Amino acid sequence: MISGQLPIFRFFERLQQDLRFGSRTLRRSVGFTAAAVLSLGLGVGAVTAIFSIFDAIWLRPLPYEHADRLVAVSEVKLDEPGTTWDVALANYSDWKAQSGSFDHLALIHAYWEQILIGGERPEQITAQRVTPGFFDIFGGKVLYGRLFLPEEYEKGGTPVVVLGYGLWRRLFGSDRGILGKQLSLETRTFTVIGVLSPEFTSIYPDADLWTPITWRTDNRRARHLPARCPVPGPEGLRSPCRAPP
């Protein structure tokens, strides 16, 4: 029994000696020690960041029902292979009317940063403008109020807004009486009609609120213009859709 334990004892004895020798060496070379620790820390941090991105994009499923059926659609120029264009509003209207391949089709004006006035304090927020079908695709449900009505997407319709759960808690103190209140955004006044449930996750997670994209469907000129949202912004129009099973 003693002879069987001897190799293990010698292993730990040598390990202890190696650790002592290593610690003495590191104490004598402070600069080398600092560089080694810094390099190790940067390496671990870089690997962790890369894995987090890889996990979010490739390993973790999208937080939507029927995520395997979601696709993004863009316009392309035949003479410029590999390039994509924002979707023209009139073309989107044709796609939606003629396509039998998708359950829902929607346009998103990705980012629209403005100062919101009407809460406890003015705040810069990130908004999205969307067309019908957006909340159907991403499973948006309201905690209070309602989503947009068909007539609210028409040109000249009443300006309305749906708040994200985070903005509602942060800027309005979870006020359940927020429905019907007026908010100022981009020099226009919007009426709050709903608050989204906390489970809702937009494809752009920084979005704070949503308003309808309003336009005239008989505007034929929109079919031939470079596709841009009616309001200025760093992003144009994107078209997500959901294919049938």
| Residue span of the structural domain in which 175 resides | 67-242
What integer best gives the mean pLDDT of the chain?
76
As a whole number of angstroms, the distance between CA 27 and CA 98 comes to 74
- Whether residue 217 is found in the same domain as residue 165: yes
- Whether residue 139 is found in the same domain as residue 224: yes
The region of weakest confidence among 82-91, 97-106, 166-175, 223-232 is 223-232
For residue 57, pLDDT over 70 is answered with no
Q: How confident is the model at residue 42 (pLDDT cuts 50, 70, 90)?
A: confident
Q: How confident is the model at residue 242 (pLDDT cuts 50, 70, 90)?
A: low
For residue 229, the model assigns a pLDDT of 31
Q: Which helix (H) or strand (E) holds 124?
A: strand 123-130
Task: Kindly state the DSSP code that residue 135 receives in the 8-state scheme.
Answer: H
- Whether residue 44 is found in the same domain as residue 72: no
- Whether residue 75 is found in the same domain as residue 126: yes
As a whole number of angstroms, the distance between CA 95 and CA 71 comes to 14
Cβ(205)–Cβ(126) below 8 Å: no
For residue 48, the model assigns a pLDDT of 85
Q: What is the mean pLDDT of residues 164-170?
A: 93
- Token reading at 10: 């010698």
Torsion of CA 206, 207, 208, 211, to 10 degrees: 170
Q: Where is pLDDT greater, at 146 or 74?
A: 146
Which residues neighbour 124 within 8 Å (Cβ) at sequence distance 6 or greater? 113, 114, 115, 116
As a whole number of angstroms, the distance between CA 235 and CA 17 comes to 62
Cβ(87)–Cβ(100) below 8 Å: no
- Whether residue 47 is found in the same domain as residue 73: no
As a whole number of angstroms, the distance between CA 227 and CA 132 comes to 18
Total number of domains in the chain: 2
For residue 127, pLDDT over 50 is answered with yes
Using the 3D structure, point to which of 20, 41, 59 is the last residue of a domain: 59
- Whether residue 138 is found in the same domain as residue 210: yes
- Whether residue 95 is found in the same domain as residue 212: yes
Q: What is the mean pLDDT of residues 2-27?
A: 69
Report pLDDT digits (tens) over 76-118: 777 777 777 777 777 888 888 888 778 888 888 766 667 777 7
- Whether residue 16 is found in the same domain as residue 133: no
For residue 168, the model assigns a pLDDT of 94
Cβ(137)–Cβ(239) below 8 Å: no
Using the 3D structure, point to which of 39, 59, 79 is the last residue of a domain: 59
